[in-house]
Amino acid sequence: MSKQEALAFVGANAALLDSKTNPPNPFASSEWVHHFIDQVADEDWRIVALEGMADSGNLMLAWHHVATPWRFTSLTNYYASLYSPLASLAGSSEERAAAMRSVVQQLRSVRPRVATLQLAPLDGQSPDTVALLHELRHQGWHARQYFAFGNWTLPCEGLAFDAYIAARDSQVRNTLARKSKKLLAAGSLEILTEEADVDRGMDAWDAIYSRSWKQREPYPDFVRGWARRCARRGWLRLGIASLEGKPIAAQFWFTIDRRAYIFKLAYDEEYSKWSAGTVLTAHMFRHALEADRVVEIDYLTGDDPYKSAWMSDRRERIGVLACNPRSPRGAWAAAREMAGSLSAPLRQRLREVARPQA
């Protein structure tokens, strides 16, 4: 599908993408997928919808470049912290495994033949991912998984904010005790949720971001556009810390189905002595626990050292690279993958055995 065809397809299949039968993943929602295609996909992308057992409603979304139609990739990039390999109306694990089987079978009918399929980041513990790996291997693909990144979370159903803070390490508690009153005496904290406040909040975000350590956004309108979509759906939690009227720290969270996701954060390094990031983080956690009453807070991508101070649990996201030996390109890729998996001593021994004798 072209970009415009894909946008229409996502709109027509919103109910399937947003079905509660799917594991929770905001980055697989119709809202996110539509926004991603609209803002990130180039005109030379082709979006692929693999529909297994079409009457039952099963779908895997991927893409390829027009110049490399044999190389399929998950419909994600670094903005997304989780890729769902299956959207399905099937509820039980057995039904979803059958749905995954039919989706993988659809890969055989694609022409030109798919040589490689790379999907990431995945939940390695998800039954859908387990079924994906099983079906790829069962249907003759050479598939391996690899580590993508760590993901820190806080399961928090029924957790009171005071109890949460009391369980943090002494450095966090001492910083909050010293800095919170000082910052609030000279400044303010606010959490924006309404669409009418998006431009004001994102203007503040952009100003802070430009003065932070962060690199420039490769898609300048992506974050603001996502904030607007979140506000329309009631998901937006945009925290701003200001000092004497000047925004100095910001955090972009969104909350869906009682799960809070920490999407973006930045602070003005000139004001680092105020610890505005720490104070604002505590303010955001209080809102999530007391107002939104979330059951989980998710720090999304990466093992940044500060995340463990605020979270309790760590899980790993993986990627899957699958090569199709029925395709010449896929067979070559599979051979390279298998050679790369050999131990260094064994590779050296094979080279010695294969070396012509003098």
- Give the domain CATH number at 214: 3.40.630.30
Same domain, 45 and 145: yes
Tell me, what's the pLDDT at 215? Answer: 80
Contact (CB, 8 A) for 39 and 75: no
SS3 326: coil
Tell me whether residue 300 is in a domain. Answer: no
State pTM to two decimals.
0.92
| Helices within the chain (DSSP H only) | 3-12, 14-17, 30-39, 93-106, 127-138, 161-166, 170-186, 198-210, 222-233, 276-286, 307-310, 328-341, 344-354
Same domain, 194 and 167: yes
Tell me whether residue 305 is in a domain. Answer: no
Tell me whether residue 215 is in a domain. Answer: yes
Tell me, what's the pLDDT at 341? Answer: 67
Tell me, what's the pLDDT at 342? Answer: 58
Overall residue count recorded for the chain in this entry: 358
Same domain, 286 and 204: yes
Bridge partners (DSSP) listed for residue 316 = 150
- Output the six-digit token pair for 16: 């399937």
Tell me whether residue 15 is in a domain. Answer: yes
Same domain, 267 and 164: yes
Same domain, 161 and 146: no
Tell me whether residue 260 is in a domain. Answer: yes
Same domain, 164 and 216: yes
Tell me, what's the pLDDT at 182? Answer: 95
Same domain, 256 and 334: no
Containing domain of residue 235, as a range?
157-294
Q: Report the C-alpha gap between 151 and 247 in whole angstroms.
A: 29
Same domain, 31 and 146: yes
SS3 75: coil
Tell me, what's the pLDDT at 165? Answer: 97
Mean pLDDT, consecutive 10-residue stretches, the chain (358 aa), reads 97 96 97 98 96 76 96 96 95 91 92 94 97 97 96 98 97 95 96 98 95 84 98 98 96 98 95 96 98 98 95 98 93 87 53 43
Same domain, 126 and 251: no
Tell me, what's the pLDDT at 344? Answer: 54
Tell me, what's the pLDDT at 90? Answer: 86
Buried b (16+ CB within 10 A) or exposed e, 264-289: bbbbbeebeebbbbbbbbbbbbbbbb
Using a 10 angstrom Cβ sphere, with 0-12 exposed, 13-18 middle and 19 or more buried, the burial of residue 177 is exposed
Same domain, 225 and 290: yes
